[in-house]
Structure 1
Amino acid sequence: MEFIKSEKGKDKLIYKGYMYTFEKFGTEEKSIWKCDQYKKMKCKGRIHSLNNEILKEIQHNHVQDCGNIEAAKAVNLIKNMATQNVDLSTRAVISSASTSVS
């Protein structure tokens, strides 16, 4: 279970090669996450979690998209490096991030 930030700064959950966006809080403060492909693929995949522990997993109707997840992680890394190292040039940030991702 891993978290990254979306383009809008919200949490996204990565688990078993799938990416999820926060949907709502359920009973007893558990978090319900829906598959990132719920609109595009009409996927009903969901994760129910509580305190970073998976309680329930609802299956997907598509294969994992590891390439998309790796790209999202790389973009997050670049954004984090750019905000933490404001004195670095764009080229230096991207170069440093690309060596970290490879």
Structure 2
Amino acid sequence: MYNIISVHDFPIIKDQDWIQLYPSYKEKLHSRIRKFFDILANSQSVLFVRWGAVSIPQAAELGSVLASITPGKCNILFLDPVAGLPSVKELDWGIDGTCTVQVPS
């Protein structure tokens, strides 16, 4: 549904279906999510880093959503890999708390 791939959480065990390990994976995932939200709730400043750019409207929407769950200062760094780019290039999207940088891929 969310296009999430988990390649490290389900070991291949002979004669055992991966689904048998799902309950422990689900608990581990919920624990990580709770810890993540706890860190957000208790941080004065948070930097989110995303590999791969989005559109300007998507970046603004993501910034708004993240700011709504982050009581402290919230910043986002978008790293946009570009083939053949000779050096780092900053893009000014005019969104407070957001920096987009094209980087060589």
TM-score in terms of structure 2 length: 0.27
Larger Rg: 2
Higher relative contact order (CA 8 A, sep 6+): 2
Higher strand residue share? 1
TM-score in terms of structure 1 length: 0.28
